[in-house]
Chains A and B, each alone.
Chain A
């Protein structure tokens, strides 16, 4: 391809990537390095239907000049990253010196909002991703052995959890596990404990969120594996059968190696998705028990006073963590690509 043709060929996608990926990233990073200007607070009297009270307000004229001069805000450098609501460098240092053994240090760490969110996010990703892949694989194997006439409807039903909007899907489960819902009552009966409530216990809430995560994303792994299963070499399978391989041995030595590249792909997508866990925390009202990095960003922006710089700093940290998490998979893909050439 000529250079000019190549340029015009990729130009639209490069433009879109700059507009929608690169520029927002630059904006987020910039935002996280600035904080708001010092606000001039004046004491005033506020009056209304309930009488007058002494209160304070921001002196707009005094702060307007500052904002005019530096519209981005006050240069904060890495201060926001280092403060207590993010990496909490000082607090972690203090805890390391003062804590009484590792468990005590862990407790102090989990009391800091960022590490609490990170703790849940990492646990969620580490548990949900492999379970999704394993469950998706077995669903694919099972569906693949269903009689041909029944396959269409079976595939449709297996895909349902992914088709349902995450918020709606998690709300349905949330109501079912309510202490008076069908699953909640069932659990109480199973555990013979009438006071058992999933929503009141942190470990059960974590389990619930992860169960939802697997339920919601297993269909994705399933459909990818199912597509892969259609390309398994039938001759190899027959040869294995003639050699006396059992069904399990055929799966283990023929199917699994064939699907290995797909596993890398699913792991890549699922790691990214699971690290951004957000919707179930909102619809399960789980914030008292579990918070994630995405939830922390949402919470910063949803208050009466928006914390733009704080949200930006958490976003940048999330991006860094996702990049770290994906690097082994990316390196592997790169290497595979290299050898194929």
Chain B
């Protein structure tokens, strides 16, 4: 596995030739061990390749979609197997809960003076991570289909429903709405967006007591069900990949999708010109009249393991800082993400995420027990969408499942 990753990284580095040379030229990397664990998508590959190039031949990177299942275990030992984990605002919580990452204040003071303050993630005043990109879900639409029915670009889920009805009535598409509604993590994420959009609060302030069985919770579920009526009947099995495939097949005209995945939809691979030429990104969608967009903001960033020697921590820090320096931005990497570094020039594909940030969207909650609620949501919402129980019953089930899990984990008594 590691060998495979090394080989893939090798090619990535070759592709990034100039970048790597620049990073080497900086020479800011100190001697020590670097071993990265993180998710796998183009932007992260770019960062990892640049960091490995700076740290030298012994550096390793294990980039996999299953990174969350291995990062805690891989950082618990002493010394930790992974000296850094690339995480997002949801997954950093598990690392903080388990106390396996170290505050970076001293390292920033010693080696990271030129990292802009807005990239530093602080928890209770202590720097815990350095963010390098932003992500969010937002509307993706087919301009030609909307033109055909003479509709404006939707700004709310109510508009999406109206447009979907029109598209179906005109006989253009039978299932014009798409969404990553696969039971589990994806479905829970869609509820999280929708519930935030209705102005709901997940927990009683300052406590781990869940409170979603309310009018906003019902409103969020009802809207999801209304949308699902315009989706492919198999929607409960469609994750982000399957939804993107539906889009590229030209079966969908409106969907809420990750900014980091829209580049693939707008390039000329995998779909007909009619589809990719007319694929446009909109802003985040609203629901009801709360004024908060029904989406969450995400950052991806890197951390440093706690159980490593000072020397290795410094080496990891300097290598990762080189990995996310403005030098990695070039023609090829520029559009891979909404980079937070100076020198980033947004492309049309990045507009959705920037619109979500500009609209004052809510970041995905960084609280220790949000992950438990996310799991409970993913396990129970399908029951309501399939019509086997009422919204209130589903919300009560979610609260009960969460409460049992939170008690076991010591968050509730």
Contact = CB atoms under 8 A, between A and B. Distances in A.
Nearest to B393: A111
A306 interface: yes
A104 to B, nearest CB: 13
A288 interface: yes
Interface string A9-41: 000000000000000000000000001111101
Contacts of B89: 48
A113 to B, nearest CB: 7
A305 B404 contact: no
A264 interface: no
Interface in B58-112: 68-69, 72, 89-91, 93-94, 96-97, 99
Contacts of B97: 39, 58, 305
By size class, the interface of chain B is 35 or more
Interface residues of A, number: 54
Interface stretch (B10-18, B219-227, B234-242): B234-242
Nearest to A76: B408
A216 B404 CA distance: 36
B408 A111 contact: no
B379 A113 contact: yes
Contacts of A195: 233
B123 A57 contact: yes
B303 to A, nearest CB: 13
Contact of A49 (B134, B386, B389): B134
Contacts of A299: 184, 375, 379
Nearest to A53: B363
A179 interface: yes
B382 A288 contact: yes
Contacts of B299: 48-50
A85 B401 contact: yes
Contact of B233 (A45, A197, A304): A197
Contacts, number: 170
A49 B353 CA distance: 13
Contact of A58 (B118, B368, B383, B403): B368
B5 interface: no
Contacts of B383: 111
Given A49-B134, A285-B237, A56 B183 contact: no
A271 B405 CA distance: 30
Given A46-B123, A195-B233, A303-B375, A83 B407 contact: yes
Q: Which of B89, B91, B206, B407 has the most CB of A within 10 A?
A: B407
A248 to B, nearest CB: 44
A111 B389 contact: yes
A229 interface: no
A63 to B, nearest CB: 8
B94 A304 contact: yes
B400 interface: yes
Contact of B410 (A38, A111, A284, A286): A38
B348 interface: no
B408 A309 contact: yes
Contact of B90 (A50, A84, A304): A304
Interface string A192-211: 00010101101000000000
B297 A50 contact: yes
Nearest to B186: A285
A84 B123 CA distance: 33
Nearest to A178: B234
B234 A48 contact: no
A310 interface: yes
Interface string B112-142: 0000001111111100000100100000000
B365 interface: yes
Contacts of A147: none
Contacts of B397: 111
Nearest to A201: B233
Contacts of A178: 234
Given A55-B366, A306-B72, A179 B124 contact: no
Nearest to A197: B233
A39 B409 contact: yes
Contacts of B68: 302, 304
A305 B371 contact: yes
A53 to B, nearest CB: 6
Nearest to A205: B237
A245 B289 CA distance: 82
B124 A42 contact: yes
Contact of A83 (B206, B368, B404): B404
Contacts of A289: 236, 382
Contacts of A38: 410, 413
Contacts of A76: 408
Interface string A35-74: 1111101111111111001011110100010000000001
A46 B69 contact: no
A36 B409 contact: yes
Interface in A306-341: 306-307, 309-310
Nearest to B380: A113
Contacts of A288: 183, 236-237, 382, 386
A200 B233 contact: yes
Contact of B122 (A36, A46, A113): A46
A88 to B, nearest CB: 9
A303 B370 CA distance: 11
Nearest to B90: A304
20 contacts: A38-B410, A42-B124, A44-B125, A48-B118, A48-B363, A50-B297, A57-B96, A57-B124, A64-B99, A85-B405, A111-B397, A179-B233, A199-B234, A284-B237, A285-B182, A285-B183, A289-B382, A303-B374, A304-B91, A309-B408
Given A48-B120, A57-B124, 19 more contacts: A36-B408, A39-B411, A49-B118, A50-B299, A50-B361, A50-B363, A55-B366, A57-B123, A84-B403, A84-B404, A111-B383, A113-B401, A179-B232, A285-B237, A288-B386, A303-B371, A305-B94, A305-B375, A306-B94
Interface of A: 35-39, 41-50, 53, 55-58, 60, 64, 74, 76, 80, 83-85, 91, 111, 113, 178-179, 195, 197, 199-200, 202, 284-289, 299, 301-307, 309-310
Give the 10 A-B residue pairs with the shortest CB-CB distance, closest first: A304-B371, A288-B183, A44-B124, A288-B382, A285-B237, A200-B233, A305-B371, A36-B410, A303-B375, A199-B234
Interface of B: 68-69, 72, 89-91, 93-94, 96-97, 99, 118-125, 131, 134, 182-184, 206-208, 232-237, 239, 297, 299, 340, 357, 361, 363, 365-372, 374-375, 379, 382-383, 386, 389, 393, 397, 400-401, 403-405, 407-411, 413
